[in-house]
Amino acid sequence: MKVAIVSDLHLGYERFYDDAYTQASEALTKASEIADAIIIPGDIFDFRSPKPDVIAQGLNIFRQLKDKMWEARITKYSGQGRIFTDIPVIAIPGTHERRAQDSENAVEIMNLAGFLANGSEATIEISKGAEKISVSSLGGVSEERVKDMLKEYSFSPVPGQFSIFMLHQSIYELLPFSDEFICYDDLPKGFDLYVSGHIHSKVIAKVHGKPFLIPGSTVLTQLKDGEQEPKGFFVFDTQTNEYKFHEISSRKFMVERIDISDKDPSQIKMEVVEKLAKATKSKVQNKPIIRIVLEGRSNESTKQISMEISEIIKNETNAVVELSKGNVENYEMESNIESLRQKSIENLSIKDYGMVLFLERLKDNNYKLGVSASELFDMLTADTNKEKVIKKATDIVLESTPP
Ligand SMILES: [Mn+2]
């Protein structure tokens, strides 16, 4: 059976709203043409409570999948919830969709509508002719709870079937900055394929000797170095154990680094002009995004240099250009661990980055209340009404903390 892995569609992502929709649509349509089944390891939506317009985008895309004549079908569901379709499209909620317990997430709404099967904390069997495969999944949970959840559900492969394990979590080997993150070794043993979302650039690794795949997001979100590679999805063939990455036509993103050390502004300006000319040489339908990163040390003030470059950027019509001078001030070599950590942080969304800072701050202050730190973070970011969330969080903290 051919299984497509499409992840982190981020429908509703404000900065590239149209890209998010068209690229998600292209990825899923292409996947449905090539594959017998589609699995989605989280973040279909960019928000925990997507607006009706964004839900409508989701319904539009998934309705087309529903209308396809699938030969493969879901033939068994083992889990606590219920599913309402037998089409082989299985998804789990990710970080961006995760909500406090007892409130419905958008993936469950799609499940209730029968547009996909919510695979969270369940094992789903898909059959095509005589071949049966199974997909076991843990929906995205807070990082403190993930180890307990894995223990609680003690996922195991289905004997005699090609078995896939799907999740949406930070993995320590890829994001080494919290002891709470699970390691590859913490994943349940015995599966034939491991699949995760959450990280927005492509990852190919091995877990317990078997392939571990993250396709990355279908839309540009963070404008970090790792997002320069083409977007797309994996298709895994369970018969041959081979897999292939299929590209989609995503907006191009380029990072151009310019070392400003010992150069005067006119030299730097010229380099910027040259880099932009080169980057926009081939004409494409969607204007590419180019991030110019200034590096090094200069005697000229960076403000002066930025001003000069801003002029060029304003006049560029073939691209969307961004200027970043983050590396100018602190150019000294950092320790290896610190630089690895910084690099990993670059792969996080703003929300996750906020959570990292929040967790670190709590740790520094010896936080030990009855509510886990990331649950507290979730509560505090659940609503835009500050007083309401603070009151609710205080109530829960006081209730659950032993005197
Ligand atoms: Mn994501």
> In terms of domains, do 320 and 348 share one?
no
Q: Looking at residue 59, what is its pLDDT?
A: 96
Is the domain of 184 the same as that of 115?
yes
Q: Looking at the structure, do residues 358 and 319 belong to the same domain, yes or no? A: no
- The answer for residues whose C-beta is within 8 angstroms of residue 360's C-beta and 6 or more apart is none
Residues 368, 314, single domain; the answer is no
Average pLDDT over residues 13-31: 95
pLDDT of 232 > 80? The answer is: yes
Task: Check whether 288 has a pLDDT greater than 60.
Answer: yes
Distances (CA, A) of 36 to 42, 69, 212, 236: 19, 10, 20, 10
Calculate how far, in angstroms, residue 266's C-alpha sits from the geometric centre of ligand 1. 40
Separation CA 275–CA 290 (nearest Å): 10
Neighbouring C-beta atoms of residue 280, cutoff 10 Å: 19
Q: Across the strands, what pairs with 234?
A: 5, 245
Q: What confidence score (pLDDT) does residue 315 get?
A: 85
For the cut 90, the answer to whether the pLDDT of residue 304 exceeds it is no
If DSSP states are collapsed to H, E and C, what string results for 218-244? CCCCCCCHHHHCCCEEEEEECCCCEEE
The last residue of a domain, from among 206, 228, 247: 247
Domain final residue pick, 306, 329, 352: 329
Q: What is the pLDDT of residue 330?
A: 35
pLDDT, average across residues 152-174: 96
Of 192, 134, 186, 143, the C-alpha closest to 168 is: 143
Instruction: List CB contacts of 253: < 8 A, sequence separation 6 or more.
Output: 220, 223, 227, 228, 288, 289, 290, 291
SS3 125: strand
Distance 303 CA to ligand 1 centre (A): 34
Mean pLDDT in residue range 366-380:
74
Domain limits at 266? 253-329
Q: Sheet of 2-5: strands edge to edge?
A: 117-118, 89-91, 37-40, 2-5, 232-237, 242-247
CA of 310 to the centre of ligand 1 (A): 31
Residue 221 has pLDDT above 60, yes or no: yes
pLDDT at 336 over 50: no
Give residue 20's pLDDT.
Answer: 95
* Strands of the 253-259 sheet, one edge to the other: 253-259, 289-295, 320-325
Mean pLDDT of 145-164: 95
Greater confidence (363 vs 258) lies with: 258
Co-location of 13 and 85 in the same domain:
yes
The CA 10 to ligand 1 mean position distance, Å, reads 7
- Across 90-113, average pLDDT: 85
| Residue 128, beta-bridge partner list | 131
Rounded Cα–Cα distance for residues 276 and 323 (Å): 12
Task: Please answer whether residues 308 and 268 qualify as being in contact, where contact means their C-beta atoms are separated by less than 8 angstroms.
Answer: yes
Other CB atoms within 10 A of residue 98 CB = 21
> 146, 169 in Cβ contact below 8 A?
yes
Domain match, 30 and 155 both: yes
- What's the number of domains the chain is made of? 3
Same domain, 123 and 171: yes
- For ligand 1, the distance from its centroid to the CA atom of residue 272, given in whole angstroms, is 32
Could you say which of 247, 276, 299 is where a domain stops?
247
* C-alpha of residue 91 to centroid of ligand 1, in Å: 13
DSSP state string for 75-106: EEEEESS-----SSEEE---TTT---TTS--H
pLDDT score of 176 more than 70: yes
> What share of the chain in percent tops pLDDT 70?
89
Angstrom distances, CA of residue 388 to CA of 286, 381, 391, 394: 42, 11, 5, 10
Across all residues in the chain, what is the average pLDDT? 86
Least confident of 13-22, 163-172, 308-317, 329-338: 329-338
Q: What's the pLDDT score for residue 235?
A: 98
**Token representation of residue 274:** 């040259």
- Give yes or no: residues 49 and 151 share one domain: yes
Q: Tell me: do 313 and 186 sit in the same domain.
A: no
Q: Give the Å distance between the CA of 42 and the centre of ligand 1.
A: 7
Distance 267 CA to ligand 1 centre (A): 39
- Which amino acid is residue 276, in one-letter code? L
CB neighbourhood size of 293 (10 A): 17
314 and 176 belong to one structural domain: no
- The DSSP code for 158 is P
Q: Are residues 393 and 368 in the same domain?
A: yes
* Whether 207 and 92 share a structural domain: yes
Q: What is the biggest distance separating any 2 CA atoms in the chain, rounded to whole angstroms?
A: 71
What lies within 8 Å, CB to CB, of 238 at 6+ separation is 1, 2, 3, 131, 133, 162, 192, 193
User: How close is the Cα of 70 to the center of ligand 1, in Å?
Assistant: 28
